[in-house]
């Protein structure tokens, strides 16, 4: 095999990259990213997170589309019953509490009573049931909700 300018073996079809050029290209790339972020500088506030992506979501509904481009905005638009901490322990969010049956086949969620949609309309168990059924019927990874046989809504706060 021929050697490149650094004395390493060069495999056919492998691009020749100068070890000096790689860090320079990295610095140029970092400068370009900083230039792109400049317009967002006034938005900088405690607790803010700005995410740049080269992907464009086809839509913002995570119930019918999968992937990072959809998931990033979708998780900020749609509320989940639970959130998970850094150790993947479930934490209350839309559900203030939950019970799992001994056989692990039934999960009962107890929704918070003050959750509302953007227009002030209360979120009810019927809304949660609709979301679960819509995702089960339309998401490309149907196996995620395959074990769900039924969603019951005995009252406004128990789906």
The count of other CB atoms within 10 Å of the CB of residue 46 is 4
**Residue of higher predicted confidence among 120 and 159:** 120
pLDDT digits (tens, 9 = 90+) for 2-51: 555 556 655 665 555 544 455 555 556 666 666 666 666 665 567 777 77
pLDDT band at residue 134 under the 50/70/90 scheme:
confident
CB within 8 Å of 107: residues ≥ 6 apart: 98, 99, 100, 101
d(CA 91, CA 85) in angstroms, rounded, equals: 7
**In the predicted model, what is the mean pLDDT of the chain?**
78
**pLDDT value of position 19:** 46
Mean pLDDT of 61-65: 79
């Amino acid at each position: 095999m021929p050697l490149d300018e650094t004395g390493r073996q060069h495999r056919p079809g492998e691009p020749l990259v100068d070890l000096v050029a790689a860090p320079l290209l990295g610095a140029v790339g970092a400068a370009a990213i900083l230039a792109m972020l400049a317009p967002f500088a006034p938005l900088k506030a405690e607790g803010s997170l700005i995410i740049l992506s080269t992907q464009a979501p086809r839509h913002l509904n995570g119930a019918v589309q999968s992937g990072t481009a959809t998931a990033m905005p979708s998780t900020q638009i749609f509320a989940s019953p639970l959130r998970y901490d850094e150790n993947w322990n479930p934490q209350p969010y839309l559900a203030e509490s939950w019970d799992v049956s001994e056989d692990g086949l039934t999960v009962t969620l107890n929704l918070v009573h003050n959750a509302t949609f953007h227009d002030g309309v209360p979120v009810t168990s019927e809304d949660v049931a609709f979301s679960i059924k819509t995702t089960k019927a339309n998401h490309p990874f149907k196996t995620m909700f395959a074990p769900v046989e039924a969603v019951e809504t005995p009252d406004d706060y128990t789906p």
